Structure 1
Amino acid sequence: MSEQSLISEQLAQLAASSWRPLDHLPYQEIPEKLLALALNGLPDAPPQVVSGLAGLAATLRQEPCSEVRVVVLGGGTGLSNIVGGDSRHPAWPTAPFSGLKSVFPRLISVVCVTDDGGSTGELLRDLPLLAVGDLRHVLLSSIRRDKLQQQYELSAAEALATTGLLHRLFNCRFTGCLPANAVAVLEHCGVKLTDLPPFMARSLFWLIDEIFSNPHLQPLRKRSHCLGNLLLVAAIYQQPAMKMAEIDAASPLPPPPAAIMGGLRFLADLLGASPEAVLPCTTTPASLKVLYDNGVLVSGELKSALARRNCPVNRVFVEFADSPEIPSEVFAAIAEADIILFAPGSLFTSLIPILRVPGLAAALRQNNKALKLLLANLWVQAGETDLVTGEWERRYHVSDLLRAYRRNIPGGIAGLFEQVLVVGMREIPGSILQSYALENKVPIYLDRKLVRELGLTPLEAAISSQYDLAGERVVQHDPEAVAVAVRTLWASRFQSFQSPPSPPQRSLLPPSPSLASRSRQSQSLRQASRSRQAQSFHQPQSLPRTQPLTNPLINPRRQTLNARYRQFRQRLAQLDFQADWLPFLTEIFWWHRDILWEHLDQVAGMQLVAVNDWRRCQEWDNVFSFYDPVDRMIKVRADIAPGHHLFEVAFLVALGQSLLGNYAAAKAKVPVQWSGGEEIGYIFSLTMRPAADRRSFFSAEELESYLELARMRQARLNPLLFTRVINGREGFTPPGLLFGLIYAWYLDNRFVPSIEYKISITKAQPSDLVPEQTRITQRCQGLINFFRQRVFRSHPQTS
């Protein structure tokens, strides 16, 4: 009798029993009861009640999985942890052979490669490479005991000791420059290669030596790095495809796909993982762009992760340095998979970027035989899932997670996964949840009804680590429990109760009632916008709630991050900047990747002005910097020179002002007097230079549009004259200063709290009661749109 027939017979017997044994298991749904049985064991009940459950539990445990093909997608700690435990954790060497790989040896991980932080970010400055940090992390977690023992003829104890040494070696980090040679590197890490199998030891020493001898890799020796990343890079760069490449330090070429895949296979096999255990979702260098609900677009995964924009993430985009190439091994693994898992982890920076790679979502849908399962995240992630699109005031739920997938993935969520596995909160002590709450960490709540309405089956199970709960009192996925849960679902896959509810017939699922309500309330705002403004960037556009174009987003200059970094560094060196300022300036341009090359066109250099010589009027602000269009220099007061904590914002404000160039021919402030000579306000006037005499980043139409958004009125008889009436002692921000402030705010909202306060009106519920609120909201949204579309020239796909 097959395992499936046996499970069906056992379930039928249990259902017919007068003792009703299944009722002694938690949860209402049969799949969740099976998970509880497999994970928690037999319930506390009389022997005659649980005897039938014992047989069912044994059947579930005996499900053969050695030939089951599993593909798991994700990135970072979430993926590494369920594959084989978090290989960066200090305690990992004590139990390195757990997780999915222990149950499903034919496991393949498809890894996100848009990371740009830490050692990976340092690598991306010097090499035109894809992000390797998550690949290295998952690679170490993929080491299997059986392969180590067979390949190197090791005992179980020797395999464990070998894995511990590899953990120490691959996680060893260097601050500043690397040591002088390979021997010094090993001494720093405290690893003796003689304690490793001979072939592994010789190969690892060769890779370490490559770091010092390979001409491609010499720039890496000057930065802080994780040795595991360097070993993977060395494995890639020693491939035959790279050995034949010409070395051009001024313009290095990205490693060809053959070198990347060859290096990964070599290192995986060397360490004791399957040669194709870890695959990148693309071999083309790529970076992340995050679009927030207020219309701001931020480039860079680390920057977006650290940002606190105080509004929800709407969509994410992957920008490729060139036409994206996807390894054929990825498509083959997906097509042949019996189980497809979506790992827990960062929603917007790990999973969705993979599904934005052209062809991957379609390939996942085409496999209609696999069991497809999404492992939901445990906690709300600050800056990503702490706010809900369309409903900024409420907490995040699992259904919101699914709607985010639907918004971001070509074709939505249909065919990607049928079940959602969630950590059972009933298993976690309230005292621990309370401790998390004190740290402002909140669970992502399971809202079963809405998840079912989205056509998916919610499954709650005890897949959190009891060891971590009892020891460090932390809540995270237990790799062993996840493996047992997946095996249980695989064993019961053909049972009738596993069929998920039929999805709605419409291609686009309706929004929740609260979203529909918000949509109706904002209808008048959108209609007013359409009639009021003709130009697209004047409109307070509602960001689309569904997936837009599916064509790959390619960098306009077809640049890697390394190429951009080198070009800006060279450009800054050619301008009038002191040599000791260049490291600070280079860091600013590296961090703020939305700054365009052309944004420096109006800048000749920078001058520090002594405090006693500072003559600029500070009537409007306390920003001690400005752009001087006469000599095209950025002027900064000397007491906030490079290195001061206020220098970055001062420089960015002035850089933003430089985009306007010498647009202003004259500015004036004319008092307005009432009868009897009482001064009741003034008129601020600005006269633009004629187009023939003007140097600016913007066209005449763009300048006029900006000035209108800045509440300046264009004179009917003189199109170069713009005025604004200021009442009494009301505050006023001149358009040039306002431009610089918004420029800095757009790049990082923490720089300019005053602008953040003004823009916050866009969060308020639109109301017909006070029409002025609608007009202010329109103007604020118009400014954001103008900066995204005209200042930072974002690709139309991201608007």
Structure 2
Amino acid sequence: MAEGRLPHIVLFSGGTACRTTNLALLSKPVRLTRIVPAWDSGGSSKIIRDTLGVLAVGDIRQALMTMAHGEGRAGDVVKVCNARMTSGTEDDARTEFALYAEGCHPLLERMEPGLRGAILNYLRTFRAAIGADFDFRNGSIGNFILTGAHLAHNSDINTAIFVFRKLCDITGHVWPSTAADGVDLSAVLNDGTRVEGQHRVTALDDAASDIGIRDIALSGRNGAAVPANEAVLESLESADAIVFGPGSFFTSVLPHFLVEGIVPAIARNGHARRIFIGNMLQCRETRGLDVARMLEIATTLWRRQEGADARPFTHVLANHQPLPFEKTVGPFAYLGNGPLEEVGARLGMERVIGEFEDPWQRGQHDGRAVADMLNSLLPS
């Protein structure tokens, strides 16, 4: 690491699961880059994708708002970008959007003219593109602004993110792992059933969840391969630690391995620690799995790109498990570690077992404890 340069941590994950870790890392003397999925197909992102055929921006906007929160940005621009439309009637939601798009919302009326003008330009670009029948209910204003910026800047998502960060005065970086639009995730269950769409995979019903996921795939438009975002490749080149998770294993963490160029770029950086963070709880995607099995699945996918002897991770962080029986929080059991010692040794990974559960939020990570450990593992 060059003298005087802050260490650079690149964090692969999705949305809420790594939020506390993201926030805690922002209190450390590090540079932080979040790499998020570009295949979100649910919620507000789904409606925008279906209407415009553009790259999903929901995970990008959410990660940017986490950065803003962690950096103490609480101005009017951030408040606007973090706002949601009413979930009431379509007419009420359309009226509420008009308050923003016409600059009549109190947050916009008191804003500095240059910021206000930029936001109004992006909202009006978005409104012109989506047509009269768009359903604004429960939509994110930040998603609308970021999509408008995407459209206004010749569908260049990296430029749109740069502008969005400047509007919100955000220092940390957030990039989608691919800049291609129309990317879709699918999964094949252990019985051969195919499940199409990220939002369906992450919300498997009980029967499908019990069957379990055998494989996943990413596809671009017309089945094309999914190329890596150049901004991501540059981030990986300068990383001192590359962290995977916590997050939805099959929909937010593992699919990044399928983006062309990501795995080779990580492998080329022989300096960086590559750290897998085990989830705290099982979920609909991982019911019946344990951390050791997840490492084996990730290694199999990694070796499709890098060869039979390649290892994806140098370290694995897993929570200490003192109980000899299965314990649950709500509908899901704690994620067991399984034969982690044997699998870690076979795959060339150092095990780091600790007390990583939030003492106030059962089943969630203590972001500070995770961030402290990540900081201690940085190369000297």
TM class, shorter-chain normalised?
0.7 to 0.9
**2:219/2:225 contact within 8 Å kept:** no
The reply to whether residue 229 of structure 1 matches residue 143 of structure 2 is yes
Change (3 A) 1:235 1:413: farther
* 1:776-787 equivalence runs, <5 A: none
The reply to whether residue 418 of structure 1 matches residue 314 of structure 2 is yes
* CA offsets 1:566-606 (integer angstroms, 9 cap, x no match): xxxxxxxxxxxxxxxxxxxxxxxxxxxxxxxxxxxxxxxxx
Between 1:328-337 and 1:416-425, the stretch displaced more is 416-425
Residue in structure 1 matched with residue 351 of structure 2 by the alignment: 458
**1:66/1:104 contact within 8 Å kept:** no
The reply to whether residue 338 of structure 1 matches residue 240 of structure 2 is yes
What is the letter of the counterpart of residue 314 of structure 2? E
The reply to whether residue 72 of structure 1 matches residue 14 of structure 2 is no
Residue in structure 2 matched with residue 320 of structure 1 by the alignment: 220
**Aligned-pair distance for 1:174?**
3.6
Change (3 A) 1:266 1:121: same
* CA offsets 1:490-531 (integer angstroms, 9 cap, x no match): 2xx46xxxxxxxxxxxxxxxxxxxxxxxxxxxxxxxxxxxxx
**Aligned-pair distance for 1:234?**
0.9
Change (3 A) 1:278 1:298: same
Residue in structure 1 matched with residue 332 of structure 2 by the alignment: 441
Residue in structure 1 matched with residue 84 of structure 2 by the alignment: 172
Change (3 A) 1:298 1:398: same
Residue in structure 2 matched with residue 407 of structure 1 by the alignment: 300
Choose which of 131, 134, 137 in structure 2 pairs with 1:218: 131
* CA offsets 1:203-229 (integer angstroms, 9 cap, x no match): 3343334333xx323367334322221
**Aligned-pair distance for 1:454?**
2.8
* CA offsets 1:41-76 (integer angstroms, 9 cap, x no match): xxxxxxxxxxxxxxxxxxxxxxx9961122111212
Change (3 A) 1:385 1:230: same
The reply to whether residue 262 of structure 1 matches residue 141 of structure 2 is no
The reply to whether residue 238 of structure 1 matches residue 152 of structure 2 is yes
Distance in 2 (CA, whole Å) between partners of 1:480 and 1:220 is: 45
What is the letter of the counterpart of residue 465 of structure 1? D
**Aligned-pair distance for 1:112?**
0.9
**Aligned-pair distance for 1:311?**
0.9
Choose which of 361, 372, 376 in structure 2 pairs with 1:484: 372
What is the letter of the counterpart of residue 314 of structure 1? R
What is the letter of the counterpart of residue 13 of structure 2? G
Distance in 1 (CA, whole Å) between partners of 2:204 and 2:178 is: 26
Distance in 2 (CA, whole Å) between partners of 1:226 and 1:303 is: 21
Residue in structure 1 matched with residue 184 of structure 2 by the alignment: 287
Change (3 A) 1:160 1:306: closer
**Aligned-pair distance for 1:188?**
12
Distance in 2 (CA, whole Å) between partners of 1:186 and 1:464 is: 43
* 1:515-554 equivalence runs, <5 A: none
* 1:81-480 equivalence runs, <5 A: 81-84=20-23, 99-143=24-68, 161-162=74-75, 166-167=78-79, 169-175=81-87, 176=90, 178-180=93-95, 184-185=99-100, 192-193=107-108, 199-212=114-127, 215-218=128-131, 221-224=134-137, 225-239=139-153, 241=154, 255=155, 259-274=156-171, 277-284=173-180, 285-308=182-205, 309=208, 310-321=210-221, 322-382=224-284, 384-387=285-288, 396-409=289-302, 410=304, 411=306, 414-425=310-321, 436=329, 439-447=330-338, 448-450=340-342, 451-466=344-359, 469=360, 473-480=361-368
Distance in 2 (CA, whole Å) between partners of 1:476 and 1:121 is: 27
* CA offsets 1:385-429 (integer angstroms, 9 cap, x no match): 113xxxxxxxx2211111121233324793421101123345xxx
How many residues matched?
362
**Aligned-pair distance for 1:201?**
4.0
**1:73/1:342 contact within 8 Å kept:** yes
Distance in 2 (CA, whole Å) between partners of 1:402 and 1:220 is: 46
**Aligned-pair distance for 1:296?**
1.4
What is the letter of the counterpart of residue 54 of structure 2? L
Distance in 2 (CA, whole Å) between partners of 1:290 and 1:319 is: 11
**Aligned-pair distance for 1:194?**
5.1
Question: TM-score under structure 1 normalisation?
Answer: 0.42
What is the letter of the counterpart of residue 297 of structure 2? A
The gaps in structure 1 that reach 5 residues or longer are 5-63, 85-98, 147-158, 242-254, 388-395, 495-799
Change (3 A) 1:380 1:138: same
Change (3 A) 1:104 1:223: same
**Aligned-pair distance for 1:189?**
11
Distance in 2 (CA, whole Å) between partners of 1:440 and 1:104 is: 38
Distance in 2 (CA, whole Å) between partners of 1:72 and 1:403 is: 20
* CA offsets 1:149-179 (integer angstroms, 9 cap, x no match): xxxxxxxxxx55427x725642413433542
* CA offsets 1:269-317 (integer angstroms, 9 cap, x no match): 221223x701111112211110111111121111222223231211100
SS of 1:386 mapped into structure 2: coil
Distance in 2 (CA, whole Å) between partners of 1:144 and 1:181 is: 25
What is the letter of the counterpart of residue 206 of structure 1? N
**2:126/2:151 contact within 8 Å kept:** no
**2:311/2:348 contact within 8 Å kept:** no
What is the letter of the counterpart of residue 262 of structure 1? T
**Aligned-pair distance for 1:361?**
0.9
**1:116/1:124 contact within 8 Å kept:** yes
**1:74/1:345 contact within 8 Å kept:** yes
* 1:557-576 equivalence runs, <5 A: none
Identity %: 20
SS of 2:26 mapped into structure 1: helix
**Aligned-pair distance for 1:113?**
1.1
Change (3 A) 1:463 1:123: same
* CA offsets 1:680-736 (integer angstroms, 9 cap, x no match): xxxxxxxxxxxxxxxxxxxxxxxxxxxxxxxxxxxxxxxxxxxxxxxxxxxxxxxxx
What is the letter of the counterpart of residue 483 of structure 1? A
Greater relative contact order (CA < 8 Å, ≥ 6 in sequence): 2
SS of 1:173 mapped into structure 2: coil
SS of 2:287 mapped into structure 1: coil
SS of 1:179 mapped into structure 2: helix
* CA offsets 1:215-256 (integer angstroms, 9 cap, x no match): 3233673343222211110111121x2xxxxxxxxxxxxx3x
SS of 1:452 mapped into structure 2: helix
What is the letter of the counterpart of residue 416 of structure 1? P
Distance in 1 (CA, whole Å) between partners of 2:84 and 2:113 is: 21
Distance in 1 (CA, whole Å) between partners of 2:9 and 2:286 is: 28
